[in-house]
Structures are given as C-alpha cells and as structure tokens.
Chain A
C-alpha cells in the first residue's frame, strides 16, 4: 500500500526525535512558524537535530538547513530557544538565504 494513512515511521521527524531521546541523545527541533511569499516548506514543517549535527526532515528546500543545524547545536548547548529568520540570499543580515525569494521564520527549541 503506497500513500499509507499511517505515519511513515522511518522518515517522520517527530518519531525520529522521540527515538533519539529514548537513546539518551540531546535533541533540538526546528519548526517553520511563519512564511511570506513563496516558501518551499509549509508552516509546521520540522527539522530535528542532535548534538552532533545529525538531522532529519526539512524547513526549506535545503537552502537554510545548514544554518539551522548550526544554530540548533548551540540551542542544545544553552537550552535557550531561538527564533531565526531567513530572507532572500542577498539580504546582508544573513549569509544564507532562500533563492526562491520568500521569507521564513524558524523556531528552534531543545526538547525534553
């Protein structure tokens, strides 16, 4: 049965986050909380990250994941949640950006 009505456990970021925590790992979760213009992933999309920088899921089409992972490792260390904002690539405030021209806000928090 393709298009299962049940969760795709092997690829579901929240299921992976839960199993990482069960394994005793420190885990952060990044969530798209707002989008403007053409954004590659909808509000509510998740990226989960462990302290070594391993990750699953996505918050963009691959454009900003690297930066989110770096920030998430810091969040795991400090325990303090952060709100990140990404705009177009030439926006001087950020080194990375969205080539599609959209803007997204990503909330990063440590789990547990």
Chain B
C-alpha cells in the first residue's frame, strides 16, 4: 500500500496485480516487462486506464490501473489559451498557464484557471513536467517557449506542441539542437501545432490543439509498435 501510494503521489502510473486465487499481489510499473497474456493485459491497462479481471496462466488476476490524471500546461497567456483552458478542463485535462508577461497573464483574462505570471524556468522547477503532462507552447517567443520545450522533451511529456509556421519551427529545431536535444527527441514536437482541421480563429486552433492532445494521450505507447496513424 505504501509503495503504491508513493507511485501515485509522484504521478507515476502503476498497475496493482492481485491473484484472486491466493490473494498475492504485486505492483507493476510502466515499462516493466511482463511476459505472455498477463503482460499484454497489463500493457492494455496502462494504455486505457481501465481496471479489470483477466484469466491468464490458468489463474484469475485483478488488474487495478492507477494512472495519474493527465494535465495540460500551456506556455503563453494568449488568445488561443483563453479558449483552450475551459475546453480542456471540460474534456478532463486540467490546465495550467505560464507566462511571465504580466500584461497577458491576468486573472481578468483567465478566470478560474491556474495561472502563473512567472518564467517557465521558475514554475517548472517547483512543479516539474512528467509523462502524464501535455505541453503546448504558444507564445511565439523563443525566450519563453524554448526552455519549456526542452524541459518537456526531457520529461517525456505525452504531448508536445509548438505554435509557429514550418519556417519558424526550422529555426526552433536549430536552437533546441544547440540546447542539447536529440533530433529524434525534437521530432516528437507537433509543429505547426494542432490537428490539421483548417483552424483559422484562436478558438478553432484551441480545438485543434486539444484534439491532438487527446489523440496523443489515447495512443500512448502505440508509437513503438508502429500502430499509430
């Protein structure tokens, strides 16, 4: 119980596997290798977050999936973020917004949102990113976005998106390489940001970003098997 709670407090996914025949249980962490049908069922539990009983090796196991709640960190208290914050919250992804520009990051513009009028460097030191966090960088300003993007790559955020044209992104890639990020890491960044739905207004771009975030969350772990579209 103590170990399981430690994992849950640290926002790390864990599946508690209980043999319903003899009552023995063990904790499996994401990435641990478990062979056979039981392993496949555990992998499925990590991906979907659904708990269930399974038959494997002639025994009945109960898999209780403990997944951290996904969240979305937005760098930039801009017009897109004003639409994105309430939409994402409704979809089940609580939002935090970080922007050091105090003219942008005001409670009047962002009622009912966790808002930090500080540099990402300072906020992310206190509340680090993790693999159950999505990061959308939408300031257009390298001074603000770049550090957060590098931190998101290092923390293996399940989704990383950055606003800007292909040209803007090409320059960004060079800067991230200079910061020490690997090319394969950088390839995980979605840029231009958002699913291609022809979004034009800030609110439409917010829909595209949220849809891409949800897609990334629900297809976690599938990239490795080449099963993601």
Give A contacts to B, CB under 8 Å.
1, 3-7, 14-15, 17-18, 21, 31, 33-34, 42-44, 81, 83, 107, 109, 111-112
Of A21, A33, A111, the residue contacting B53 (CB under 8 A) is A33
Are B94's CB and A14's CB within 8 A? no
Please indicate the chain A residues that have their CB under 8 angstroms from the CB of B53 in the complex: 33-34, 43
**Is the Cβ of A3 less than 8 Å from the Cβ of B2?**
no
Contacting pair A14 B5 (CB below 8 A): yes
Contacts of A33 in B (CB 8 A): 20, 53, 62
- A18–B2 CB distance below 8 A: yes
Q: Is B31 on the interface with A (CB-CB < 8 A)?
A: no
| Known A-B contacts A14-B5, A43-B50, A43-B52; A107 and B20 likewise in contact (beta carbons under 8 Å) | yes
Check A81–B23 contact: CB distance below 8 A: yes
Q: B70-103 vs A: 1/0 string, CB under 8 Å? A: 0100000000000000000100001000000000
- Does B4 belong to the interface (CB within 8 Å)? yes
Residues of B in contact with A, size category: 20 to 34
CA distance A6 to B65 in the complex (A): 16
Query: Which residues in B have their C-beta under 8 angstroms from that of A112?
Result: 1
- B64 part of interface (Cβ distance < 8 Å): yes
Check A1–B64 contact: CB distance below 8 A. no
Q: State A8–B11 Cα separation when bound (angstroms).
A: 13
Minimum C-beta distance from A70 to chain B (A): 20
With A5-B11, A5-B71, A43-B51 as contacts: A14 and B20 at CB distance below 8 Å: no
Q: How many Å from the CB of B197 to the closest CB on chain A? A: 27
Which residues of chain B from 38 to 59 have any CB-CB distance to chain A below 8 Å in the complex?
A: 50-53
A14, A18, A44, A109, most chain B CB atoms within 10 A: A44
Interface residue B114 (Cβ < 8 Å from any Cβ of A): yes
Q: Is B156 an interface residue (CB 8 A)?
A: no
Task: State the 8 A-B residue pairs at the shortest beta-carbon distance, nearest first.
Answer: A44-B51, A81-B23, A5-B71, A43-B51, A33-B62, A3-B94, A44-B64, A1-B114
Q: How far, in Å, is A54 (CB) from chain B's closest CB?
A: 17
User: Residue on A with the closest CB to B69?
Assistant: A5
Chain B residues with Cβ under 8 A from A21's Cβ? Answer: 1
Q: Which A residues touch B1, using CB under 8 A?
A: 14, 17-18, 21, 111-112
B114 contacts which chain A residues (CB < 8 A)? 1
Shortest distance between the CB of B48 and any CB in chain A (Å): 12
> B9, B53, B62: which has the most chain A beta carbons within 10 Å?
B62
Contact across chains for B4 and A14 when beta carbons are under 8 A apart: yes
Query: Which residues of the other chain, A, contact B5 by a CB distance below 8 angstroms?
Result: 14-15, 18
Q: Most chain-B Cβ atoms within 10 A of its Cβ — which of A5, A42, A81, A111?
A: A5
Could you list 24 examples of A-B contacts with CB < 8 Å?
A3-B89, A5-B11, A5-B68, A5-B69, A5-B71, A5-B94, A6-B9, A7-B8, A7-B9, A14-B5, A15-B5, A18-B2, A31-B18, A31-B62, A33-B53, A42-B51, A43-B51, A43-B52, A43-B53, A81-B23, A83-B20, A107-B18, A109-B18, A109-B23
- B94's nearest neighbour on chain A, judged by CB, is A3
